[in-house]
Amino acid sequence: MAYDPTDDRWRDHHVTPRYLAGPTSSGDVALRPLLDRGWTLNHDKLGNVYVTTPDHTVRLGYLPEGDDDALWKITAYSDPFAMPRWLVTFQDSAPTEIVAGFTTALAAAYAEGPHSYLYYGSSDLAALDVGTPLVAAGWSHSFATAGVSFHSPDGLAEVHLRRSRLDHSAEMTGHQERWLTLAGPPGSQWYATASSFTPEGLVAAMHTALTDPAPVIRYGDDLRRLPPQATATAVKPTVPTPLEVRRAQAARARSTLPAGAARPVIPAPHQAPAPHRPGPGR
């Protein structure tokens, strides 16, 4: 979208609810809590970004050129050479601020030690109190033989907890999950998952970020991609600020890069529609 100083879309807008806001143009806001703690950043020639702890027991991948639509993959290891103990994923349409809620909690848990980021998770049956942030936000819940489901008041977000026994290898390859989040209008939902053994505090942080009523900032093409159920309220005057001008110029430059031009270190995620992911027990 070409920059037009009179176009209202280049103004900053508050978007609510945040789970309908879509991703930001880069993963910086979710990577920063880890980098500020001294975690190491690397990237491959495709533009995928990898962040690891000094002891390599926690790894994050930001994967715009990954093999599937999981833009974020986070794993933790009791042994750096063994299968991961737990896996968390966020699909490429997940709002970056919700991912940041998880990475902020992860950075704090790692600083506290293995008892917080590795060993404080349930194995077969995830603790129901992890759903407390959802209930506190007014979400309804229902029980079934296979698990528990939570639903937002507007019906546009849901979280499912599987209560059945799961295969660890299947979970680590993304074929099963203990926790499944789906958000967005029908046909364009994004998903997030958390496996068994994911510490309850980290899963609760995901749910807290998901239900946070504070608006998030979007502008430009981000507004065009919002679903009609989202509310966007302009928060800046009509005259663009220098920051907004730079943002628009950067967006225009990205859209006109010649073929073969170098990708940025932290590229923008894909914006392909998210496929509907089946609910638990299917």
222-239 per-position pLDDT tens digit? 999 999 999 999 986 656
Cβ-in-10-Å burial (0-12, 13-18, 19+) of 154 comes to: exposed
Rounded to whole angstroms, what are the CA distances from 248 to 9, 14, 77, 271, 276? 10, 18, 41, 18, 32
CA distance 71 to 75: 13
From first to last of its 282 residues, what are the pLDDT tens digits of the chain?
555 555 666 789 999 999 999 999 899 999 999 999 999 999 999 999 999 999 999 999 999 999 999 999 999 999 989 999 999 999 999 999 999 999 999 999 999 999 999 986 554 445 567 889 999 999 999 998 889 999 999 999 999 999 899 999 999 999 999 999 999 999 899 999 999 999 999 999 999 999 999 999 999 889 999 999 999 999 866 567 788 778 877 777 665 444 444 444 444 455 545 455 555 444
Residues present in the chain in total = 282
pTM (2 decimals)?
Answer: 0.81
Distance CA 83, CA 75 (A): 9
Query: What is the H or E stretch that residue 108 is in?
Result: helix 96-112
Lookup: tokens for 12:
């900053």
- Kindly provide the residue ranges of all beta strands, DSSP E only, lying in the chain, ordered along the sequence: 13-16, 40-43, 49-52, 58-62, 70-76, 86-91, 140-143, 147-151, 157-162, 179-183, 190-194, 216-218, 231-234
Domain boundaries, the chain: 13-216
For residue 224, give the H/E element and its range. Answer: helix 221-224
Token pair for 34: 């880890």
